[in-house]
Amino acid sequence: EARPQPIPRLSAEDARLVGVLGAAPVQLDVLAETVRQPVAEVLDRLCALELDGVVEQRPGRLFVRL
């Protein structure tokens, strides 16, 4: 039986970013504007969070929280 992966401990910055996300996809540019961070930095964090199984990227640079 497969066990669910534990949720990784998030930094305050990552928690803020994940808090903006929900079940509805949010575009990368909107996320960056909302958290007032450069797009490149937000994308870097989102990629790490995707590898940790916290968020998922959808087509069109859209992201959702898992």
**CA-to-CA dists, residue 23 to 15, 30, 36, 64, angstroms:** 16, 15, 21, 6
Q: What is the mean pLDDT of the segment spanning 45-58?
A: 94
Beta bridge partners of 57: 63
pLDDT value at residue 23:
87
pLDDT value at residue 22:
87
Q: What confidence tier does 9 reach under pLDDT thresholds 50, 70, 90?
A: confident
Taking only the tens place, the pLDDT of each residue in 10-40 is 898 899 999 999 889 999 999 999 999 999 9
Q: What percent of the chain has pLDDT above 90?
A: 74
Question: In terms of DSSP bridges, do strands 26-27 and 62-65 run parallel, antiparallel, or are they unpaired?
Answer: antiparallel
